[in-house]
């Protein structure tokens, strides 16, 4: 008995250009931390493909603060973000979020880019970075670099369904000053359960902008756009907040499983939203 012929190849990329060129190869799959890809390969073994190893591309691992932007390289591990001097000095709350992701082993190996790339229903980064108005820089096959707001990336299935490289995530450190993440650790150390990330622009009277992102409640992390619109421009009284809360899960099919039915999840999201807003208003600069 012999094994079937295999068409699985790999290359160790060293530069961004190498990665960009490999994107047009048939069967190309980017491999960074492997926390999503490796288990998938075990469940669905490959018979052909090209694994492009990103772990040797220094340019993707950098963390910088320049021109008022924090730039996080997509192959930074969650641990690296949690321990980065640059982050701890300029955006410590980001480091705190990184320290909650998954478990110790996942944090040491899993990457920011990998976490954003996976349409995982429970994603601390997807929720928090979207609420923080994060922009992604990506390279698509045959294209140069382009930027896409994470907000749009979350639901852009066309982009997500083709192979592409996330180069980095950029955000303004000031965004963290008016940001709150109301998080519940899920049972299975697999990520947050019915958690909500909120950021607002509040001048003491009016809310001029707000981002509301929910994770761990639906098949995808989602943006509560109806609630955002309802709260924007208001003075955030109890009535305004309740009205916005009522719209949180509008148009979204919530998960129905052993951890709860949609009604329960909606309740959790609503009460966490109220807590988050209260915290934000209380600590508004």
219 lines the binding site for other proteins (CB under 8 A) = no
| CA-based R_g, the chain, Å | 20
The residues in 226-255 that bind other proteins, with binding defined as CB under 8 A, are none
* Segment contacting other proteins by CB under 8 A, of 48-56, 138-146, 213-221, 236-244: 48-56
Position 16 contacts other proteins (CB under 8 A): no
Q: Does 27 bind other proteins (CB under 8 A)?
A: yes
Question: Which residue's CB is nearer to other proteins, number 82 or number 280?
Answer: 82
161 binds other proteins (CB under 8 A): no
Establish if 257 lies at the interface with other proteins (CB under 8 A): yes
Q: Minimum distance from CB of 194 to other proteins (Å)?
A: 9
CA atoms within 13 A on the CB side of 132: 27
CB-neighbour burial class of residue 274 (10 A; exposed 0-12, middle 13-18, buried 19+) = middle
For position 258 contacting other proteins by CB under 8 A, the verdict is yes
Q: How far is the CB of 248 from other proteins (least distance, A)?
A: 16
The CB-of-201 to other proteins minimum distance in angstroms stands at 29
Please pick, from the candidates 187, 205, 237, 253, the single residue that binds other proteins as defined by CB under 8 A: 187
Unique residue bearing structure tokens 């190498």: 18
Compare residues 42 and 282 and give the one whose CB is closer to other proteins: 42
Residue 259 engages other proteins in binding (rule: CB under 8 A) = yes
| Residue number, 79 or 135, with CB nearest to other proteins | 79
Choosing from 159, 271, 279, 281, the residue that interacts with other proteins (CB under 8 A) is 271
Q: Which residues bind other proteins (CB under 8 A)?
A: 1-12, 22, 25-28, 31, 33-35, 38-39, 41-43, 45-53, 55, 79, 102-106, 108-109, 185, 187-190, 257-261, 264, 267-268, 271
């Amino acid at each position: 008995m012999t094994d079937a012929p295999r068409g699985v190849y790999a290359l160790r990329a060293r530069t961004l250009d190498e990665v960009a060129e490999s994107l047009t190869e048939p069967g190309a799959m980017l491999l960074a931390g492997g926390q999503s890809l490796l288990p998938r390969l075990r469940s669905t073994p490959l018979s052909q493909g090209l694994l492009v190893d990103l772990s040797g591309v220094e340019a993707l691992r950098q963390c910088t603060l320049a021109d008022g932007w924090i730039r996080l390289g997509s192959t930074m591990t969650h641990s690296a973000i949690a321990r980065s001097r640059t982050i701890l000095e300029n955006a410590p709350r980001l480091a705190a979020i990184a320290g909650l992701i998954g478990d110790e082993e996942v944090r040491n190996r899993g990457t920011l880019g990998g976490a954003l790339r996976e349409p995982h229903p429970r994603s601390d980064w997807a929720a928090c970075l979207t609420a923080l108005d994060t922009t992604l820089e990506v390279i698509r096959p045959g294209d140069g670099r382009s930027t896409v707001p994470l907000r749009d990336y979350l639901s852009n299935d066309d982009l997500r369904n083709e192979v592409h490289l996330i180069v980095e995530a950029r955000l303004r450190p000031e965004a963290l000053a008016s940001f709150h993440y109301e998080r519940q650790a899920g049972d299975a150390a697999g990520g947050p359960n019915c958690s909500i990330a909120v950021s607002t622009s509040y001048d003491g009277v009016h809310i001029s902008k707000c981002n509301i992102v929910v994770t761990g409640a639906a098949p995808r992390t989602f943006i509560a756009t109806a609630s955002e619109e309802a709260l924007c421009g208001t003075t955030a009284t109890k009535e305004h907040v309740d009205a916005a809360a009522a719209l949180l899960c509008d148009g979204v099919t919530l998960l129905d499983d052993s951890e709860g039915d949609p009604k329960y999840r909606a309740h959790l999201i609503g009460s966490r939203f109220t807590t988050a807003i209260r915290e934000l208003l209380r600590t508004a600069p």
